[in-house]
Amino acid sequence: METSTKKIHALYNDDDVLLHAIKDIRKKEYKIDEVFTPFPVHGLEKALGVPHTRLAYAAFFYGIIGLSFAIWMMNYIMIEDWPQNIGGKPNFSYFQNMPAFVPVMFEMTVFFAAHLMVITFYFRSRLWPFKDAENPDPRTTDDMFLVELSSDGNEKEIEEFLKKTGAVEIKLIEN
């Protein structure tokens, strides 16, 4: 790859200044690699052009899996494998005995949707125990907002521009 590529870290101390800066940087067509923020800044992903997460759709499918599993399991246990006469309830047909199965069908739907969605989130965002944090500056979990840019030889120019956007601190990182 290009040997002259350098990383620039620009730190901002206000979310509104950050939002304006991101819009300006994008207009200039400098390449933003990543932004680290201490809390969710609304409108930031839109300003960066980051597509919205599809986790909600995933959760919906996980829920359907949970519901199907619950139906399959209770049909096998209560109807196929060992039907019993419990208070005269219809033990030959899942559908006719279904009112009694609704609570568990609901719980399993929620169980699968919630847990599988969270697991998907943790894996997609690479979050798990013993994983090292990757925010370049510890202040980004407190009150600082960090924009990471990459340059190809024009660091000086970018630096000047970032100062104008309101960055309070600019660092050059040699690769």
Partner 1 sequence: MASHYEAPIRKPLIIGEKSYHDISVDVAAPVEGKANKLWWIVFSISLSAFLWGLGCIFYTVGTGIGVWGLNKTVGWAWDITNFVWWVGIGHAGTLISAVLLLFRQKWRMGINRSAEAMTIFSVMQAGLFPLIHMGRLWNANWVLPIPNQFGSLWVNFNSPLLWDVFAISTYLSVSLVFWWTGLLPDFAMLRDRAIKPFQKKIYSLLSFGWSGRVKDWNRFEEVSLVLAGLATPLVLSVHTIVSFDFATSVIPGWHTTIFPPYFVAGAIFSGFAMVNTLLIIMRKVSNLEAYITVQHIELMNIVIMITGSIVGVAYITELFIAWYSGVEYEQYAFLNRATGPYWWAYLLMMSCNVFSPQFMWSKRLRTSIMFSFIISIVVNVGMWFERFVIIVTSLHRDYLPSSWTMFSPTFVDIGIFIGTIGFFFVLFLLYARTFPVIAQAEVKTILKSSGENFKKLRDGNEH
Do the strands 5-12 and 169-174 form a parallel or antiparallel pair, or are they unpaired?
A: antiparallel
Structure tokens belonging to residue 169:
């601190």
**Near partner 1 by CB under 8 A, which window of 3-11, 76-84, 151-159, 163-171?**
76-84
At residue 84, φ and ψ (nearest 5 deg) are -125, 155
Contact between 55 and partner 1 (CB under 8 A)?
A: yes
Contact between 89 and partner 1 (CB under 8 A)?
A: yes
SS3 54: coil
For residue 65, give Cα distances in angstroms to 3, 24, 35, 48, 120: 49, 45, 35, 34, 15
| DSSP code for 39 | S
Contact between 167 and partner 1 (CB under 8 A)?
A: no
Binding mask 19-48 for partner 1 (x = CB under 8 A): ---------------xxxxxxxxxxxx--x
Single out the residue of 1, 29, 56, 95 in contact with partner 1 (rule: CB under 8 A). 56
Contact between 123 and partner 1 (CB under 8 A)?
A: no
Single out the residue of 2, 61, 64, 86 in contact with partner 1 (rule: CB under 8 A). 86
Contact between 68 and partner 1 (CB under 8 A)?
A: no
Q: Which is nearer to partner 1, 28 or 89 (CB)?
A: 89
Contact between 16 and partner 1 (CB under 8 A)?
A: yes
**Near partner 1 by CB under 8 A, which window of 4-12, 73-81, 151-159, 166-174?**
73-81
Calpha distance 133→141 (Å, rounded): 11
SS3 136: coil
Other CB atoms within 10 A of residue 110 CB:
12
Single out the residue of 23, 115, 156, 163 in contact with partner 1 (rule: CB under 8 A). 115
